[in-house]
Structure 1
Amino acid sequence: MNIDFNKNNDGLVPAIIQDASTKKVLMLGYMNAEALEKTKATKLVTFYSRTKKRLWTKGEESGNVLNLVDIKLDCDNDTLLVSVLPKGPTCHKGTDTCWGEPNEESYGFISHLQDVIKDRRLNFAPTESYVSSLFAKGINKIAQKVGEEAVEVVIEAKDSDDNLFLNESADLLFHYLILLEAKGFQVKDVVEILKGREK
């Protein structure tokens, strides 16, 4: 990597630390050439401390180290993206990230949709919400809906109307998320099973 350590006249470049699994940004630190070389050699993320004026390996006192997975350089050659597997909380205040967020996988809109479904289950009357009405009818009705939507996806897959196929696919996914909530699970639980099958 052709890193421009002299761009800011201090020999340092920002190092954005990201969990390799969850993709959450955990912290920001700074590296000089020596810190980068030590990180590569030990596979433990090491920074240059601007306050202590020395190298410090994350977790050297707490044991909450950052195990190196990968390092990427940005397009301007002056910022590093460091992928890690953290051991314990990253922030010195004891939180998972330096922004106080939990280090959990997020599935974007799907995670938002799971939250909406849970809210409908907990806080809405069956007369106020379609989702709530399904929960009121019980697990058998919810499972039946998933089956019906799955059949409709199969039927539309055999035809040439992509719009209908995608709409039925959305219906299937939506009702499957409802079924997961009814069973007390989330998408992350299914993802963990799939990860375990990866070869």
Structure 2
Amino acid sequence: MKINYNSEGLVAAIIQDVDTKTVLMLGYMNAEALVCTLETKKVTFYSRSKQRLWTKGETSGHTLNLVSIDNDCDNDALLVKVKPQGPTCHKGTDTCWEESNKQNFGFLSDLETIITQRRENVSDEKSYVASLFSKGINKIAQKVGEEAVEVVIEAKDTNDELFLNESADLLFHYLILLQAKGFRLNDIVDVLKSRH
């Protein structure tokens, strides 16, 4: 791996959780820290304040287990993918930006949050989601079944727009069913990962 170290012999190392894709921290490595990281599979930095090598977790036990290291296009920054053991920041937070390190599915995670808010406010008569929750698990499961049948019907046709709309309806109602059963997308992902 070709690395363009800076004038101090260091390269920026961006640390990212391999599963959640969350950026956990930024550190610096010199050539010796990189070799140590590759050999031990524990992320090791060059500490500018301590003026020595420093393996993350050497005092806290919260190590960063190496998965991979990639160089950027200019060879002057590393993307280090890890499996963190505990919080990453020395202040006890998951990241050095005080964000939680949890799986995020973009808009689907936003939609899960909206469904949760509607579920918690079942008295909202204008909310379709709240009305489904108030009718109970049988009605929610029935809606998932109906939407699944509609997806199958549209899959056999040639109208892509209808197929995509029915697929969106199925996914939406499935997210509602998951929450009605006390689960989230993360739980399904965990099952799929265990099968992989």
- Common fold, TM-score beyond 0.5? yes
User: Match for residue 181 of structure 1?
Assistant: 179
> Which runs of structure 2 are paired with 1:57-72 in the superposition (5 Å)?
57-72=55-70
User: Match for residue 2 of structure 1?
Assistant: 2
Instruction: Summarize the Cα distance change of 1:140–1:126 in structure 2 as closer, same or farther, 3 Å threshold.
Output: farther
Question: How high is the TM-score relative to the length of structure 2?
Answer: 0.97
What is the CA–CA distance in structure 2 between the aligned matches of 1:19 and 1:179, rounded to whole Å? Answer: 29
1:34 to 32, 35, 51: 32
Whether the 8 Å CA contact 1:44–1:58 is kept in 2: the answer is yes
What is the CA–CA distance in structure 1 between the aligned matches of 2:124 and 2:168, rounded to whole Å? Answer: 22
Query: RMSD of aligned C-alpha atoms?
Result: 0.9
Give secondary structure in 2 for the equivalent of 1:94.
Answer: coil
Gapped runs of 5+ residues in structure 1?
none
Structure 1 residue 148: deviation in Å? 0.3
- For 2:30, the aligned partner's letter is N
Identity among equivalent pairs (%): 70
What is the CA–CA distance in structure 2 between the aligned matches of 1:194 and 1:2, rounded to whole Å? Answer: 36
User: Match for residue 109 of structure 2?
Assistant: 111
Post-superposition CA distance 1:8-44 (Å, at most 9, x none): x111111000111111111100011111111111111
Structure 1 residue 126: deviation in Å? 4.2
Aligned residues: 196
- For 1:115, the aligned partner's letter is T
2:21 to 20, 23, 26: 23
Gapped runs of 5+ residues in structure 2?
none
Are residue 51 (structure 1) and residue 49 (structure 2) matched?
yes
What is the CA–CA distance in structure 1 between the aligned matches of 2:2 and 2:45, rounded to whole Å? Answer: 18
- For 2:135, the aligned partner's letter is K
Give secondary structure in 2 for the equivalent of 1:195.
Answer: helix
Q: Which moved more, 1:122-131 or 1:65-74?
A: 122-131
What is the CA–CA distance in structure 1 between the aligned matches of 2:124 and 2:62, rounded to whole Å? Answer: 47
Whether the 8 Å CA contact 1:126–1:136 is kept in 2: the answer is no
What is the CA–CA distance in structure 2 between the aligned matches of 1:126 and 1:5, rounded to whole Å? Answer: 59
Give secondary structure in 1 for the equivalent of 2:191.
Answer: helix
Post-superposition CA distance 1:141-173 (Å, at most 9, x none): 110000000000000000001111000000000
User: Match for residue 121 of structure 1?
Assistant: 119
Post-superposition CA distance 1:108-165 (Å, at most 9, x none): 1111000000101112524120111111111111100000000000000000011110
Are residue 170 (structure 1) and residue 153 (structure 2) matched?
no
Which segments of structure 1 move beyond 6 Å, counting only runs of 4 or more? Answer: none
